[in-house]
Chains A and B, each alone.
Chain A
């Protein structure tokens, strides 16, 4: 299916499976930026043919005037930088990027537990929680709390929302939802997610989103 967020011709098309996954952050950035886009859900049957048309054989891709940008972070940064959502100075933008990369590093380990939680792959869930879930969480989230406290504005960088706030809020709220109590030691992180998800354009997207 495809859901068109405005009634006029979209400038952008975002292609992904009909799940949140790696597509959700680009979708939320587009919504936050008030950018018209067509949210295209590719089915498993459609994927093999579509795959060969993408730059890296992966999704999400953002199509802009018929040309594709792959990789969810590149998409998020591209949309964000054109709509004042990537930091107010080059230095702030670099910090937004650094926080995003730090999240990626965390997720590379954490997903060895979290993908099992979501039902992908096979393995011993309890063992993965002890070996990957808990250590990755306790290495990463104290740094997030430290960043929020030292920045002091409720946002991760600067005094307004950036794409990395959206990334972290989606990540932390998803974890807290799928593994109840897992982030209870990090209330500042949960508060941050609530704050970001209360932003009107994001709130509206979350309420109306198909998945």
Chain B
């Protein structure tokens, strides 16, 4: 088995999906947290000056979704056919497009970069982005059979991405992902109640985002 080292900041952010994948597959890994001080020297040594990065037997991978997809394929959470994998990927791409729209609201709430007043941003940026994206996700989840998954009949990395993202959105504003989206919330429930994640979810640090 290769040795895995996941390198990221002390946040869930873009790496929590990958952490979930290690725990779901019971694969040992080093969950390495970089401090702000260490980042000053580490940044120049990363492929794109960003985290997360994943070291696999000492070889580096960058870009959170490339990492998540790589691990998902290795561990069986990428989709059950080439077509399903493509649908999972397409939802990941759609998430990224949504993320770009959401970013001013997200970054302000997270304290990463201030784009203005967070209440105004919630109304003018967060809510429209949420409504557009989650309405689409709700339709996808329903068309998939409201079976607790966005694609196919088993857990994929897009289920994990959406589930963790909802945690963050609701941290920023309680009930932000509301009961207009029952099939999507069911996807999240299934992730958060997966027995393979119980121990990690209980012991992981409480992180705002």
Inter-chain contact B56/A91, CB cutoff 8 Å: yes
**How far does the alpha carbon of A95 sit from the alpha carbon of B93 in the complex, in Å?**
17
Which residue of chain B is the closest to A104 with respect to CB atoms?
B96
Chain B residue at minimum C-beta to C-beta distance from A67:
B83
Measured between alpha carbons, how far is A56 from B93 in the docked complex, in Å? 11
Q: Are A90 and B73 in contact (CB under 8 A)?
A: yes
The residue that A82 contacts in the complex, of B70, B82, B96, B100, with Cβ under 8 A, is B82
Rounded to whole Å, the gap between the CB of B80 and the closest CB of chain A is 14
Q: A90-B74, A98-B63 are in contact. Are A77 and B89 (CB under 8 A)?
A: yes
Do residues A69 and B86 form an inter-chain contact, with CB atoms below 8 A?
Answer: yes
B116 within 8 A of A: no
Closest chain A residue to B92, Cβ basis: A74
Give the secondary structure class of A's interface. helix
Looking at the complex, which one of B47, B66, B86 makes contact with A97 (CB distance below 8 Å)?
B66
Contact B86 A75 (CB under 8 A): yes
Chain B contacts of A55 at CB under 8 A?
90, 140
Measured in the bound complex, the distance between the Cα atoms of B66 and A57 in whole Å is 25
Please report the C-alpha to C-alpha distance between residue A94 and residue B82 in the assembled complex, in whole angstroms. 16
Question: How large, as a class, is the contact surface on chain A?
Answer: 20 to 34
A108 to B96, CA, bound (A): 11
B69 at the interface (CB under 8 A from A): yes
Contacts of B93 in A (CB 8 A): 71, 73-74
Q: Select which of A70, A73, A98 is within 8 A of B62 by beta carbon.
A: A98
Contacts of A71 in B (CB 8 A): 89-90, 93-94
CB of B195 to closest CB in A, whole Å: 27
Residues of B close to A90: CB separation below 8 A: 70, 73-74
CB-CB under 8 A from B82, the residues of chain A are 78, 81-82
Q: Which residues of A contact B94 (CB under 8 A)?
A: 56, 70-71
Q: Any chain A CB within 8 A of the CB of B17?
A: no
Report the minimal beta-carbon distance from B203 to chain A, rounded to whole angstroms.
28
- The reply to whether A95 and B136 contact each other, CB–CB distance below 8 Å, is no
Cα distance A81–B86 when bound, in Å?
A: 10
Closest-by-CB residue of A relative to B88 is A74
Complex interface: chain A residues within 8 A of B92 (CB): 74
| A199 CB–B CB distance under 8 Å | no
- A interface residue numbers (CB < 8 A to B): 55-57, 64, 67, 69-71, 73-75, 77-78, 81-82, 90-91, 93-95, 97-98, 100-102, 104, 108, 143
Q: A55-B140, A91-B59 are known contacts; what are 6 more A-B pairs with Cβ within 8 Å?
A: A55-B90, A57-B136, A70-B94, A81-B82, A91-B70, A97-B69
29 pairs, A vs B, C-beta closer than 8 Å: A55-B90, A55-B140, A64-B83, A69-B86, A69-B87, A70-B94, A71-B93, A73-B89, A74-B87, A74-B89, A75-B86, A77-B86, A78-B86, A78-B89, A82-B82, A90-B70, A91-B61, A93-B70, A94-B61, A94-B66, A94-B67, A97-B66, A98-B61, A98-B63, A98-B66, A100-B66, A101-B96, A104-B96, A108-B100
